Amino acid sequence: MPKKSYRQAINEAIRQEMRRDPNVIVLGEDVAGGQGSSGGPGKVGSVFGVLAGLYDEFGADRVLDTPITESAIIGTAGGAAMTGLRPIAEIMFADFVGVCFDQIYNQAAKFRYMFGGRAKTPLVIRTTIGAGFRAGAQHSQTLHPLFTMVPGLKVVMPANAYDAKGLMIEAIRDDDPVVFLESKLLYDSDGEVPDEPYRVPFGEANVLREGKDVTVIGTGFMVARAAQVAAELAKSGIQCEVIDPRTTSPFDEDTLIESVQKTGRLVVVDESPPRCGLAADISSIVAEKAFKALKAPIRKVTCPHTPVPFAPNLEDEYMPNPRRIEAAIREVLAA
């Protein structure tokens, strides 16, 4: 199977869906890029280059550079989606949703329910998440809990290139608003990605590694970190079961509960602050539904309750890192 990067996988998914369905359009800041400049159109393809080449193939009608006005981007995309278009709107950094969150959680997410099933909003909001880029407090956050708590939104966190393509195709074909969270640190990671279009369903977790000693669950970039630690510990005979839920809404509870029933131990790795977050949510699900199976208290490995710091040494400590993940695993095993 051909190897492609996470970035290429997303690009290919969007390209193939745009060829298949004329209702699919792309809009955002610099997504075509360079139009009217000496560089010429199609030279940027969004800030991380995910959309490179789409302008050249589909033109200015379907690949639209917008003003830097996030509310109008999401509002316009949401309104167009109500009429049956399938817009893919890009918010350059997840941090910027503060500007347009109303259009996401009060508008797009509510239409199907508050209009009694009469409206649908097939909208994909692509945005980037994650620290580790030395980008400071306002360009580094991982805000999936914010979206996951909103009924009506689906929230996707691809953790590898294969999933990124299949989940993007699924997102575009979905009739509900989908928030598609791309981990910046994964863009250059390679994986086997089939050339033909395929779908990865929402709400079905990926079990990366089976093990009997402890369940380790994480999302996005944290999946790779958890897997890396699990591989290390396997050398000393510790068998971790590593789970990637792929989507936080809907969330695959069954796979997680089944795993905890087997291992009796749970470590949740989550790149976001600890309060009211995904780690707390997952812990509460297991506490409610698999309490008797637990042989040790659940351990959460999260960011501290702070903004993302700039200095590299501070940022590296802010993110859940292999050292902290391993310590948590050893702690639940010792309990």
The piece of 67-75, 164-172, 188-196, 315-323 that touches other proteins (CB under 8 A) is 67-75
Name the segment binding other proteins (CB under 8 A); options: 72-80, 129-137, 226-234, 297-305: 72-80
Can residue 58 be called a binding residue for other proteins (CB under 8 A)?
A: no
Tell me which residue of 67, 53, 49 sits closest to 7, measured CA to CA. 49
CA dist., res. 116 & res. 112, Å (int): 6
Q: Quick one: which of 53, 79, 136, 194 contacts other proteins (CB under 8 A)? A: 79
Catalytic residue among 43, 120, 139, 262, which?
139
Which residue type sits at 281?
Answer: D
In 193-244, where do the E strands start and end?
Answer: 206-209, 214-218, 240-244
- Give me the 211-250 binding string for other proteins, x by CB under 8 A, dash otherwise: ---------------------------------------x
Part in contact with other proteins (CB under 8 A); list of ranges 43-51, 59-67, 130-138, 185-193:
59-67
Q: How far is the CB of 70 from other proteins (least distance, A)?
A: 8
Compose the 103-122 pattern: x for residues touching other proteins by CB under 8 A, - for all others: x--xx--xxxxxxxxxxx--
* Nearer residue to other proteins within complex by CB, 72 or 234: 72
Structure tokens at 220: 């996005």
DSSP strand pairing (154-156 vs 178-183) = parallel
Cα(93)–Cα(58) distance, integer angstroms: 24
CB nearer to other proteins: pick between 57 and 102:
102
Q: What angle do CA 39, 75, 119 make, to 5 degrees?
A: 130
Nearest CB to other proteins, comparing residues 66 and 259: 66
Q: Is 305 a catalytic residue?
A: no
Of positions 95, 174, 241, 252, contacts other proteins by CB under 8 A: 174
69 contacts other proteins (rule: CB under 8 A): yes
Query: Are the CB atoms for 103 and 75 separated by under 8 Å?
Result: yes
Kindly tell me which of 4 and 112 has the beta carbon lying closer to other proteins: 112
Q: Contact at 8 Å (CB) between 220 and 183?
A: yes
In this structure, are residues 309 and 212 in contact, taking their beta carbons and an 8 Å threshold?
A: no
Q: Is position 138 an interface residue for other proteins (rule: CB under 8 A)?
A: no
Instruction: Identify whether the C-beta of residue 4 lies closer than 8 Å to the C-beta of residue 12.
Output: yes
CA distance 227 to 230: 5
Identify whether the C-beta of residue 21 lies closer than 8 Å to the C-beta of residue 124: no
Asked if 126 interacts with other proteins (CB under 8 A), we say no
Which residue matches tokens 């509510």?
A: 110
Nearby residues of 23 by Cβ (< 8 Å), 6 or more positions away = 84, 85, 86
What span, in angstroms and rounded, lies between the C-alpha atoms of 263 and 329?
A: 12
- Total of chain residues touching other proteins, rule CB under 8 A: 42
The contact mask relative to other proteins for 5-34 (x = CB under 8 A, - = no) is --------------------x---------
Rg (CA), the chain: 20
Nearest-approach distance from CB 119 to other proteins, in angstroms? 5
* Per CB under 8 A, 84 contacts other proteins: yes
Give the footprint of other proteins on this chain (CB under 8 A). Answer: 25, 61, 66-67, 69, 71-72, 74-85, 87, 102-103, 106-107, 110-120, 151-152, 154, 174-176, 250
Question: What residues are annotated to the active site?
Answer: 139
